[in-house]
Amino acid sequence: MARFVRVKGRPGVADAAITVVDDAQRKGLGRLLLSRLIAAACERRIDRILGEVLATNNAALRLIKSVVPDAIEHPDGRVICMEMLIRKDATANEAIRAGDG
pTM, full prediction: 0.81
Whole-number pLDDT of residue 71 = 94
DSSP the chain: -EEEEEETTEEEEEEEEE---GGGTTSSHHHHHHHHHHHHHHHTT--EEEEEEETT-HHHHHHHHHHSTTPEEEEETTEEEEEEE--TT--HHHHHHHHH-
Whole-number pLDDT of residue 101 = 44
Q: How many domains does the structure of the chain reveal?
A: 1
Quick: pLDDT tens for 1-30. 999 999 999 989 999 999 988 888 888 889
pLDDT above 50 (res 100): no
Whole-number pLDDT of residue 21 = 87
> Could you list the residue range(s) of the whole structural domain that residue 48 is in?
2-100
- What is the average per-residue pLDDT within 49-69? 94
pLDDT above 80 (res 96): no
Give me the CATH number covering residue 10.
Answer: 3.40.630.30
